[in-house]
A and B are shown apart, each in its own frame.
Chain A
């Protein structure tokens, strides 16, 4: 997979340099420098990368709220830390520091020995704290910081009576610092724009790393930052290509897709066991992984056209999932590739169980939830919030003999003019998935009523859910939405008005690149827009 992505990237780079086929990048406004709280995944990844996977991270994290019609990644720039959340950070920091400096691990990180284990040793302590601090803060410690943490270690040694005990408390305070918990946009004057600011090299390294690896910068990236390479086109390109060629890219893309398709819904997902006895724990656990594997397979492993995720017949199966899909799964445990037959009712990730179950009710399917999710998550077309006085009784009455199917009930519901507007947007595409019940099991009928899955999306007709996938594949909003989401994920904030032209340009290049995500990632990571910092006085209107 890595080799294939690298080949594509190389070809793209050659095209850009030899053919001169890339138009100039539109100027963007950027956004003011900010700070983004590490997600739980980023925090855990960072600790694992700095100290090793054997260091346990035990604690709870404040949730990061998803902005309306946005990504959780963007929510990281809109939150702080609650008192209770900070308490948790302190607990985790103390625990991590204690593990790092316990007898089993300290020799890995502590390369010097104190003169006396019961006394402070400023030289040894500072050496350790500068080394570890540079990794935690993703930049070298300032002399003042190093001095302060060394002094703290000395004082803590006096209190605890041991050198490593004191060092551990100082390390814990470092782990509790905003400089670690937040990714901070440190800026410096931009030599290419008089009076302007730009991210400094270390902030660039962090932005790149959390975008493409979803973790803290590694030593090579920090070294590149130290050398100033990230301020040069070739140096930046070299690092971006290295990051893109790494297997760690997959982890970041899995996080992106899970964010884009709102996989957090799965955690709270409950189904009525009397109605859906097949929705057992093993099935629920495998459900999101199937979709993620399919997405990664199409976009990274095969480096294919992103739009194919809505039409692909290739996916992956486990035995528990075989129960849902009604198919045999020869492999006893783990995952195996599976291909739906030509003409199967399923094709694409929207016909896989995860989407179908996540956007259904506890005891029945929901064309409205599915249609809304498709519009908002896949096409980036927000659906207005329903008015407060809507009567859902008819829609929810699944035993009404006059309205046997969801289509019948929703058709009646749309007779209410205040409902019709939004339901015209959601229902036709949602009804296309009615051949799948509330957990994604295929059904030809709902009760005694035959299911009609036909409809149209923006005037383009389809007959089945698989057919709808083809229509989504060909809808220009599909790649445009992906481009917007990916940029939002990259900069971890919502895009601003001053970036619209750039995003339009990026979308055009994505189309020209054959809708290949690795190329899109590279274009974003090498762009000026990705690192652009707006002056602090930029008005809210300009950013809106």
Chain B
């Protein structure tokens, strides 16, 4: 997408009354400010050769997994057309409930010891998007991580992405075919088009868009909804106000090298998230990421594009399924219990007192288009768009 970027710099002069927001970057006095609306923020799937990545094929869907729990004879019987109603009842009702009526998606922890819901098939390929979160070259356990296998990113760097390892062979996350089609990313990015949650990125103090070793990067939530064109694409150059909730405003130092912006680590980053849930694991209405790094390319078209790496508590990663409840397992055909069990098994960050890691490494695809970012305290344009 190539966007037209216009007279935003001149427009800044028209909006007076600057005051500094609580998350105001410290380098505001120098350089230009560039604002962006995040248009993609979803799990990054590396679409390598499918046979290499998933040599055993896709992980079973709920109905497939149910049938795998049956004897070959029973499986054959249930698959007869005349037994379709019985099969449907069994996998949609019996299989997705625990002995006390537990919901497979709302309460996946109840199924951790249930052998009918095994760990999912994992990615066998060696390549993934991501960042080196633990700093090791072998994935050995550290004070902040558990033993795990490393991937290499397309550039050959060692990276961590255990979420991709367990979900990269799931139809619901990978989608079918080497595209986003039908994937979780498509769904997540669509939620931003629906205005359920939207995020902003702001670069401040940019003196040289190709090389600048001292820029401030803001990652914010906004309550403002995005306008879309007739093809449901976000319009560029919209105005958005940064959320008034300081918890959802994140600021970090970054540097631009050859047009690639790399941030320092954000220890904890919160952003609002549509999947509000008051379930058995408590209220979850925000994303929580730890040890966050961004690596984003400032493209000539004006788009900011790249990867975010970090850890996420598995209780939040699984919140989307919990929020959807059993419908995720039936209509969405996702075995939530297997997904959750896989997350527990492959979690590689932030061990608890028992040594069990509570968070999982991941990578998010990030794409952002030019926008005007306003800070509510100032009601002032703090961005300029690319020429």
A526 CA / B11 CA spacing, docked (Å):
45
Q: B227: which A residues are within 8 A, CB to CB? A: 280, 282, 319-320, 323
Whether A328 lies near B10 (C-beta < 8 A) is no
- B235's partner among A277, A328, A339, A341 (CB-CB below 8 A) is A277
Residue among B7, B238, B241 with the highest chain A CB neighbour number at 10 A: B7
Q: Is the interface of B mostly helix, strand, loop or mixed?
A: loop
Contact residues of B between 1 and 33, Cβ < 8 Å to A? 4-8, 10-15
Given contacts A277-B231, A277-B235, A280-B228, are A330 and B385 in contact (CB under 8 A)?
A: no
Q: How far apart are B208's CB and chain A's nearest CB, in angstroms?
A: 23
Residue among B8, B12, B239, B383 with the highest chain A CB neighbour number at 10 A: B239
> Residue on B with the closest CB to A324?
B237
A325 CA / B11 CA spacing, docked (Å):
10
Whether A442 lies near B15 (C-beta < 8 A) is no
- B236's partner among A323, A329, A341, A443 (CB-CB below 8 A) is A323
- A277's partner among B11, B229, B374 (CB-CB below 8 A) is B229
Report if A399 contacts B (CB, 8 A). no
A22 CA / B48 CA spacing, docked (Å):
86
Whether B241 lies near A326 (C-beta < 8 A) is no
- What 1/0 mask marks residues of chain A from 314 to 355 whose CB sits below 8 Å from any chain B CB? 000001101101111110100000111100110000000000
Q: How far apart are B220's CB and chain A's nearest CB, in angstroms?
A: 15
Q: How far apart are B224's CB and chain A's nearest CB, in angstroms?
A: 6
Given contacts A338-B14, A341-B14, are A319 and B8 in contact (CB under 8 A)?
A: no
Whether A344 lies near B7 (C-beta < 8 A) is yes
- A332's partner among B6, B224, B231 (CB-CB below 8 A) is B224
Whether A330 lies near B229 (C-beta < 8 A) is no
- B372's partner among A280, A328, A345, A442 (CB-CB below 8 A) is A328
A442 CA / B8 CA spacing, docked (Å):
11
Whether A344 lies near B381 (C-beta < 8 A) is no
Whether B238 lies near A332 (C-beta < 8 A) is no
A332 CA / B222 CA spacing, docked (Å):
12
A79 CA / B351 CA spacing, docked (Å):
84
A223 CA / B229 CA spacing, docked (Å):
54
Whether B6 lies near A339 (C-beta < 8 A) is no
- What 1/0 mask marks residues of chain A from 3 to 26 whose CB sits below 8 Å from any chain B CB? 000000000000000000000000
- A326's partner among B5, B13, B15, B230 (CB-CB below 8 A) is B5
Whether B8 lies near A330 (C-beta < 8 A) is no
Whether A323 lies near B228 (C-beta < 8 A) is no
Given contacts A327-B7, A330-B380, are A322 and B13 in contact (CB under 8 A)?
A: no
Report if B345 contacts A (CB, 8 A). no
Residue among B8, B227, B374, B379 with the highest chain A CB neighbour number at 10 A: B227
Whether B383 lies near A328 (C-beta < 8 A) is yes
Q: How far apart are A285's CB and chain B's nearest CB, in angstroms?
A: 12
Q: B372: which A residues are within 8 A, CB to CB? A: 322, 327-329
Q: B381: which A residues are within 8 A, CB to CB? A: 327-328, 330
Report if A534 contacts B (CB, 8 A). no
A338 CA / B224 CA spacing, docked (Å):
20
Report if B233 contacts A (CB, 8 A). yes
Whether A278 lies near B8 (C-beta < 8 A) is no
A345 CA / B235 CA spacing, docked (Å):
23
Whether B8 lies near A327 (C-beta < 8 A) is yes
Given contacts A327-B372, A329-B239, are A339 and B14 in contact (CB under 8 A)?
A: yes
Given contacts A278-B235, A327-B14, are A442 and B7 in contact (CB under 8 A)?
A: yes
> Residue on A with the closest CB to B233?
A277
Residue among A320, A328, A332 with the highest chain B CB neighbour number at 10 A: A328
Whether B235 lies near A326 (C-beta < 8 A) is no
- A273's partner among B224, B230, B239 (CB-CB below 8 A) is B230
Q: How far apart are B18's CB and chain A's nearest CB, in angstroms?
A: 12
Whether A326 lies near B14 (C-beta < 8 A) is no
Whether B15 lies near A328 (C-beta < 8 A) is yes
> Residue on A with the closest CB to B372?
A328
- What 1/0 mask marks residues of chain A from 250 to 287 whose CB sits below 8 Å from any chain B CB? 00000000000000000000000100011010100000
A326 CA / B230 CA spacing, docked (Å):
19
A477 CA / B330 CA spacing, docked (Å):
73
Q: Is the interface of A mostly helix, strand, loop or mixed?
A: loop
Q: How far apart are B229's CB and chain A's nearest CB, in angstroms?
A: 4
- A319's partner among B7, B14, B231, B239 (CB-CB below 8 A) is B239
Report if A441 contacts B (CB, 8 A). yes
Q: A345: which B residues are within 8 A, CB to CB? A: 7
Whether A280 lies near B229 (C-beta < 8 A) is yes
A16 CA / B13 CA spacing, docked (Å):
45
Q: B228: which A residues are within 8 A, CB to CB? A: 280
Whether B229 lies near A278 (C-beta < 8 A) is yes
Q: A282: which B residues are within 8 A, CB to CB? A: 227
> Residue on A with the closest CB to B382?
A328
A340 CA / B224 CA spacing, docked (Å):
25
> Residue on B with the closest CB to A326?
B6
Whether A280 lies near B230 (C-beta < 8 A) is yes
Given contacts A339-B14, A341-B10, are A328 and B231 in contact (CB under 8 A)?
A: no
Q: How far apart are A435's CB and chain B's nearest CB, in angstroms?
A: 11
A330 CA / B6 CA spacing, docked (Å):
17
A325 CA / B7 CA spacing, docked (Å):
8
Q: How far apart are A363's CB and chain B's nearest CB, in angstroms?
A: 14
Given contacts A319-B239, A332-B241, A341-B14, are A326 and B229 in contact (CB under 8 A)?
A: no
> Residue on B with the closest CB to A320?
B227
Q: How far apart are A346's CB and chain B's nearest CB, in angstroms?
A: 9
Q: How far apart are A352's CB and chain B's nearest CB, in angstroms?
A: 14
Q: B6: which A residues are within 8 A, CB to CB? A: 325-326, 441-442
Q: How far apart are B387's CB and chain A's nearest CB, in angstroms?
A: 9
Whether A341 lies near B13 (C-beta < 8 A) is yes
Given contacts A280-B228, A280-B229, are A322 and B239 in contact (CB under 8 A)?
A: yes
Q: How far apart are A283's CB and chain B's nearest CB, in angstroms?
A: 8
Q: B238: which A residues are within 8 A, CB to CB? A: 319, 322-323
Whether B237 lies near A323 (C-beta < 8 A) is yes
Whether B8 lies near A326 (C-beta < 8 A) is yes
> Residue on B with the closest CB to A318?
B239
A443 CA / B380 CA spacing, docked (Å):
25
A319 CA / B225 CA spacing, docked (Å):
11
Contact residues of A between 332 and 391, Cβ < 8 Å to B? 332, 338-341, 344-345
A327 CA / B15 CA spacing, docked (Å):
10
Q: How far apart are A337's CB and chain B's nearest CB, in angstroms?
A: 10
Given contacts A326-B237, A326-B385, A330-B379, are A277 and B230 in contact (CB under 8 A)?
A: yes
Residue among A323, A326, A329 with the highest chain B CB neighbour number at 10 A: A326
> Residue on B with the closest CB to A443?
B4
Contact residues of B between 280 and 301, Cβ < 8 Å to A? none
Q: A328: which B residues are within 8 A, CB to CB? A: 8, 11-12, 15, 239, 372, 374, 381, 383
A326 CA / B372 CA spacing, docked (Å):
9
Q: How far apart are A357's CB and chain B's nearest CB, in angstroms?
A: 15
Whether B10 lies near A322 (C-beta < 8 A) is no
Contact residues of A between 437 and 451, Cβ < 8 Å to B? 441-443
A332 CA / B238 CA spacing, docked (Å):
11
Q: B231: which A residues are within 8 A, CB to CB? A: 273, 277
A470 CA / B136 CA spacing, docked (Å):
68
A57 CA / B58 CA spacing, docked (Å):
60
Pick 13 A–B contacts, CB within 8 A, sort by A. A280-B227, A280-B228, A320-B227, A325-B6, A326-B6, A326-B8, A326-B237, A327-B11, A328-B12, A328-B15, A328-B239, A328-B383, A341-B14
A278-B229, A328-B11, A330-B241 known; 14 other A-B pairs, CB under 8 Å? Answer: A280-B227, A280-B230, A322-B237, A322-B238, A323-B227, A326-B4, A326-B11, A327-B7, A328-B239, A328-B383, A338-B14, A339-B14, A341-B13, A441-B4
Q: Which 10 A-B pairs have the closest CB atoms?
A: A326-B6, A328-B372, A328-B381, A277-B229, A327-B11, A273-B230, A330-B379, A329-B239, A328-B239, A341-B10
